[in-house]
Chains A and B, each alone.
Chain A
Amino acid sequence: MNPRLTRNELLRRGAAGGALLAFPSLLAACGGGGGDSSSSGEVNDVLNFSNWPYYIDTPDSLKAAGLTGVPTTLKQFETKTKIKVNYYEDINSNSEYFGTIQGRLRNGDGIGRDIIVSTDNDRYLGQYLNNDWALKLDKDLIPNISNLIPAQASPPFDPNREYTLPWFSGMDGIAWNEEVTEPITTVTQLLTDPKLKGRVGVWNSMGDTLGLIMLENGDDPAKVTDETFDRAIAVVQKAQDAGQIRRFYGNDYAQPLAKGDLAASMAWSGDIFLLNDPKVKWGIAKSGGIIFTDNMLIPLGGSVPTASTYMNFVYDPKIAAQLALGAGYISSVAGVKDEAAKLNPDAADNTLVFPTDEMLGQLHQNDPTMFSNPDYEKKWLAVQGK
């Protein structure tokens, strides 16, 4: 006969069992091993690359750009170098991706990636670089770095381009649905016109949204002071209080804009290019736009030779031209427009991908110091109710 346990006894024994578990080796067992790619030495036969979705040429996007019968640049790279590429579209926001990987980087572990991409007008690129979580490029393996356009050669976060290379740039502007509204050409119109009430989108990224507003305020987004920052925040707060702003969007404003839930929104050039919807128009605001750049970098544990080999490949103007046409964003490789014209003369006329000099003249850069100011961050979240 089995002795039956009373409920109390079961609970007591359970507690004792719990106490037995408090041994530290369990904690140690929970920490993972390092990444498997090596940080030096030979070129690996696999490249692990994390990027944003819809940020590279695919058979479909090439077809849409009028390029048929061309293998994708990834395929061409694999054929040429025999390096297999695992291409992950797993970056949906700079902050979320950073949040996912920072724990491993903080422990000095690799993240199983050889290249990741991070945007310059956000605080996370600075985090990778300042915490030594990015590895130095092997420039001997990147002779094509000579094709980098001068405007991108010495950004403030990496003056000699020792750790980063631009993947693509994009323009911050205003998009509107012409079935719902007349053209929206100024930020003031966007944020105050009562006809747009509740149907306006702005970004949840500080640099982009406040950058456009600072330009409208006549302030310089490349040189932010507490005064100009507060002035810009006040504009958002006013629009927010008036119910003008529907939501703060990541890159999910394009669909509501096409559906007409949003009449107009702050919008990135490439998103509108990819949306490819004739009723959604895009333009640089009258007071100017912001240019942002996504930068490739090699995270801790990545293979420098393998990553550098790939970077060299995409800095070949011919490859860069195909990439730009397929992704719809602006390349930082010199001579890319001429190469694009060889691939498809019409596509090379698209100013969203190949902006005119006049357009480029209207674009400004964000002040990188504004992203590391915790006060600004706090105010920016507060205006979003967070």
Chain B
Amino acid sequence: MGTFFHRHRGATPYLLLAPGVLWLAIFFVIPLAFLGYESLQSGLFPNFEFTWQFSNFSDGIRDYHTQLLRSFVYAGIATLACLVLAYPLVYWIAFRAGAWRNLFLLFIVAPFFVTYLVRTLAWLNILADEGPVVGILRDLHILGPDGRLLATTFAVVSGITYNFFPFMALPIYVSLEQMDARLLEAAKDLYASPIQAFIRVTLPLSAPGIVAGTLLTFIPAAGDFINAALLGTPNQAMIGNVIQSKFLESLDYPSAAALSFILMGLILVALLVYARIVGSERLTG
């Protein structure tokens, strides 16, 4: 093997890249090209014809801008909620948990040994009208006697937050864990208050983790449909639900494909805006 690589030194990078490139080609580029082809078709199932039907795109935006906007708002709130919840938690694990670090990390990941669908279904029981959470909130008069949590925006956003939490927590943990604690001592020596030290030292050093976590949370959350389907009502329908029903119920593959591209394009735009705000060097690491 060693002599093989030695003799074909020029081919080595190609050989090393081949599996990854092959993977991308088969599971991303080819399906994407097919989806693009499909998005410009017209007709009724199963007799679609390729007709450069660009109106699939304009119709998609016209008919479903509410759901598109809603998806981005929900995903944005959920991403923010994940950040606010995850940061202190992993900060504590990274700096204070000592020998128990791995155990606590396992606690973050453990629910994800159960499948996505079952985890979300569990929320149906937790938030049920006659369940314990609603009962307590009603007793505390936070919810009215007929108040409920299920089938509300709150339930859908909470479900998304819960389901994508580790994707935020783990990258932040990694960046915090790599931090040299002596930098904080140095900041203290230079008369920084704890808050100043956090803002000037810890936060910038953990920024790559925050950026990575934000992307890993926001992108799949914007296209999610399980949470809205199980925990919401039609008033919480996200663009993922529209695409799902176009593909599976109305068999309107061209519209579904066009909507998928619109979602992809909007996510890309959101990423570019985000990159401008946080600085592109942090997106690429």
Q: Which residues of A contact B (CB under 8 A)?
A: 2-3, 5, 9-10, 13-14, 16-18, 21-22, 26-27, 30, 93, 95-96, 98-99, 102, 106, 127, 131, 197-199, 240, 245-248, 256, 259-261, 374, 377-378, 381-386
User: Is B151 part of the contact surface with A, judged by Cβ < 8 Å?
Assistant: yes
- Answer yes or no: B98 CB below 8 A from chain A CBs: no
| B103 interface residue per 8 A CB criterion | no
Contact of B234 among A30, A106, A248, A377 (CB under 8 A): A248
Q: Is B247 an interface residue (CB 8 A)?
A: yes
Asked if A3 meets B129 with Cβ closer than 8 Å, knowing A95-B249, A381-B249, A386-B242, the reply is no
- Supposing A21-B21, A377-B250 touch, asked if A386 and B241 sit within 8 A by C-beta, the answer is yes
**How many Cβ-Cβ contacts under 8 Å join chain A to chain B?**
104
Per a CB cutoff under 8 Å, which of B29, B124, B237, B248 touches A384? B237
Q: Which residues of B contact A102 (CB under 8 A)?
A: 46, 251
Cβ proximity bits B233-264 to A, threshold 8 Å, 1 near / 0 not: 11111000110011111111000000000000
Residues of A within 8 A of B151 (CB): 198, 246-247
Nearest residue (CB) in A for B248 is A99
Are B234 and A261 within 8 A (Cβ)?
no
Closest residue on chain B to residue A240 by CB atoms: B234
- The size of the chain B interface, using a CB distance under 8 A, is 41
At the interface, yes or no: B45 with Cβ under 8 Å from chain A?
A: yes
CB neighbours (8 Å) of A248 from chain B are 234
Shortest C-beta distance, B274 to chain A (Å), equals: 23
> Is the Cβ of A378 less than 8 Å from the Cβ of B13?
no
CB distance from B117 to the nearest CB of A (A): 12
- State whether B17 touches A17 (Cβ < 8 A): yes
- B interface, over-half SS: helix
A130 to B235, CA, bound (A): 36
Could you list 6 examples of A-B contacts with CB < 8 Å?
A10-B17, A96-B248, A98-B251, A197-B146, A199-B129, A259-B129
Task: Please name all residues of chain B whose beta carbon is closer than 8 Å to the beta carbon of A2 when the two chains form the complex.
Answer: 9
> B14, A260: Cβ atoms under 8 Å?
no
Contact present for A374 and B44 (CB under 8 Å): yes
* Nearest-neighbor residue (CB-CB) of A21 within chain B: B25
Kindly state whether residue B22 has any CB partner on chain A within 8 Å: yes
The answer, yes or no, to whether B18 is at the interface (CB within 8 Å) is: yes
**Chain A residue at minimum C-beta to C-beta distance from B249:** A95
Contacts of B30 in A (CB 8 A): 26-27, 30
Q: Is B175 an interface residue (CB 8 A)?
A: no
B90-113 CB contacts (< 8 Å) to partner A: none
Residue on B with the closest CB to A2? Answer: B9
- Judged by a CB distance under 8 angstroms, whether B203 is at the interface is no
Q: Contact check, B249 vs A259: say whether CB atoms are below 8 A apart.
A: no
Q: Tell me which residues across on chain B come within 8 A of A386, comparing CB atoms.
A: 67, 234, 237, 241-242, 245-246
Give the residue name and chain of the A residue nearest to B148 (CB): A198
Given A14-B17, A127-B45, 10 more pairs with CB closer than 8 A: A10-B17, A14-B13, A17-B17, A17-B18, A26-B30, A102-B251, A247-B234, A261-B128, A386-B67, A386-B245
Which residues of chain A are within 8 angstroms of B130 by Cβ–Cβ distance?
Answer: 259-261
Q: Name the residue of chain A whose CB is nearest to the CB of B129.
A: A261
Most buried by B among A21, A260, A378: A21
B162 CB → nearest A CB, Å: 19
Given contact pairs A198-B148, A261-B130, A99 touches B247 in the complex (Cβ within 8 A): yes
Q: How many angstroms from the CA of A10 to the CA of B17 in the assembled complex?
A: 9
Q: Is the CB of A13 within 8 A of B13?
A: yes
- Shortest distance between the CB of B50 and any CB in chain A (Å): 16
- Residue ID in chain A nearest B46 by CB atoms: A106
Chain A residues closer than 8 Å to B235, beta-carbon distance = 385
When chains A and B are docked, how far (Å) is the Cα of A131 from the Cα of B234? 33
B249 close to A26 (CB less than 8 A)? no
A14 contacts across to B, CB distance below 8 A: 13, 17, 21
Task: Say how far B252's CB is from chain A's closest CB, in angstroms.
Answer: 8
Query: Whole-angstrom distance between the alpha carbons of A374 and B48 in the complex?
Result: 14
Bound-state CA distance A156–B131 (Å) is: 47
Q: Which of B22-65 contact A (CB under 8 A)?
A: 22, 24-26, 29-30, 44-46, 63
In the assembled complex, the CB of B152 is this many whole angstroms from the nearest CB of chain A, namely: 9
Query: B157 contacts the other chain (Cβ, under 8 Å)?
Result: no
Contacts of B29 in A (CB 8 A): 18
CB atoms of B248 and A17 under 8 A apart? no
When A and B form their complex, which 8 residue pairs have the shortest distance between CB atoms, in order from nearest?
A385-B234, A385-B237, A99-B248, A386-B245, A95-B249, A261-B129, A21-B25, A260-B130
Report the bound CA distance from A354 to B197 in whole Å: 76
CB <8 Å contact, A260 and B129: yes
Give Cα distance in the complex from A198 to B46, angstroms: 38
